[in-house]
Amino acid sequence: MSTLIHPNAVLYQGSRPFPALAACEHYAGAEKMIRKALQLQVESGPVFDVTADCEDGAAAGLEKQHAEMVAAVLREPTNRFARLGVRIHDITHPHWQADLDIIIRQAGNQVAYIVLPKPNCAEDATRQIAALDQARLRHGVTREIPVHVLIETHGALREVWQIAQLPHVESIDFGLMDFVSAHHGAIPDSAMRSPGQFTHPLVIRAKCEIAAAALANGIVPAHNVTTELRDATVVHEDARRARDEFGFLRMWSIHPAQIQPIVAAMRPDFEAVLDAAQLLLAAQAAAWGPISWQGKLHDRASYRYYWELLQRAHATGVDLPPEASAHFFPA
């Protein structure tokens, strides 16, 4: 085991690894709901992330108190897996800089990522990322803090490729509701839910552009919420279509009942996971040189594909062969 090389050490030389994010991102605003989500995360394992919402979760006039509550929860043992992120206010709101300062000053070493909502252009996101870095420097936080950017305006969609190339960005997310609303009634409200959200040409265009920009720049595209709160079949089908038809690798949840259907729909096929595990073990044994596997030649290009598939399987709680778990995901 000690002589074997981990895939991350050899498959991405000269480039950064593709982010290994959970397939579901669960939003919670109120303290009670954040704590409930973290408890569910402990029970289920880190197969989904939790995002504490300072934008829509804070009552008007109580933004400071809300951000301080979120920072306190970030530091608590209930944040067992350190997979609690924070959505701050958008750049037009007077409290967005204070959100950043409070979170980074009080919990800069615990926060999993920062979500930037409603940029109107790449420059808006650039400004907020610069403020994040300044806050890290000011408060002595040396670790990189990943950034997720919400695409929900015309301007952000127009410049989504520039946004996907900004420093620290590991995910770009589609904000369907605000995007539809920004069309002043030209897109019907039926496009805010299924099947319209998968058939209206302007929404399809936005989803394809976001997924293409994210994947081309080595970051994760995250799909919008489904408005169905309790019917697991509808939630599962929405997540499946987002994954299979549009290439999204992550999806938002806004109700605890949505989490497991989303995770299940985003899981790779089990037989494909077993094949990937065996191929990667053989490649590791060959020090990641080219090998013949089941009558086909494989090298580092295909190894990267199967390694990322195996990481997605691990992130969604698929049971991996014990040898693969020991070699690639040691405790």
285 shares a domain with 141:
no
Last residue of a domain, one of 214, 237, 266: 266
Mean predicted confidence (pLDDT) in 84-101: 98
280 shares a domain with 176:
no
301 shares a domain with 218:
no
Q: Is residue 282 part of a domain?
A: yes
Task: Report angle CA 123, 128, 130 to the nearest 5 degrees.
Answer: 90
Is the pLDDT assigned to residue 2 strictly greater than 60? no
322 shares a domain with 239:
no
Q: Is residue 9 part of a domain?
A: no
Task: Tell the residue number behind the tokens 């920062």, with chain if given.
Answer: 114
Q: Domain span at residue 107? A: 24-266
Share of the chain above pLDDT 70, in %: 99
Measure the CA dihedral 159/142/252/40, to 10°: 180
Q: Please enumerate in sequence order all residues whose Cβ is within 8 A of that of 156, keeping only pairs 6 or more positions apart, or say none.
A: 118, 119, 120, 121, 122, 124, 125, 149, 150, 163
Among 95, 87, 106, smallest CA distance to 150 is for 87
Is the pLDDT assigned to residue 222 strictly greater than 90? yes
Q: Is residue 191 part of a domain?
A: yes
Instruction: Give the tens place of pLDDT for each residue, 112-132.
Output: 999 999 999 999 999 999 999
**pTM (two decimals):** 0.91
301 shares a domain with 242:
no
Q: Please enumerate in sequence order all residues whose Cβ is within 8 A of that of 60, keeping only pairs 6 or more positions apart, or say none.
A: none
Phi, psi of 7 (to 5 degrees): -60, -35
What does the block give as tokens for 328?
Answer: 């690639």
Mean predicted confidence (pLDDT) in 23-47: 96
Q: Is residue 167 part of a domain?
A: yes
131 shares a domain with 209:
yes
End-to-end CA gap in the chain? 14
Q: Is 321 helix (H, G, I), strand (E, B) or coil?
A: coil
Provide the mean pLDDT of the chain.
95
Q: Is 117 helix (H, G, I), strand (E, B) or coil?
A: coil
CATH of the domain at 79: 3.20.20.60
294 shares a domain with 243:
no
Q: Is residue 14 part of a domain?
A: no
184 shares a domain with 58:
yes
Asked whether 15 and 38 are in contact (CB, 8 A), the reply is no
The total number of structural domains in the chain stands at: 2
Mean predicted confidence (pLDDT) in 225-245: 94
